[in-house]
Amino acid sequence: MSFEYFDLETARKLLPWVKTKMKELKSAQLNAEKALVSGKKEYIEIYSIEVDRILREITEKGIVVRDVNIGLVDFPAVINEKPAYLCWKEGEEDIMYWHYVEEGFRGRKRITGRENILSYL
**Helix residue ranges per DSSP H, 1-121:** 8-38, 41-59
What pTM, to 2 d.p., does this model score? 0.88
* 47 touches 37 (CB < 8 A): no
User: What residue type is 55 in one-letter code?
Assistant: L
Digit-by-digit pLDDT tens for the chain (121 residues) are 445 899 999 999 999 999 999 999 999 999 888 888 888 888 888 888 999 999 999 999 999 999 999 999 999 999 999 999 999 999 999 999 999 999 989 999 999 999 999 875 4
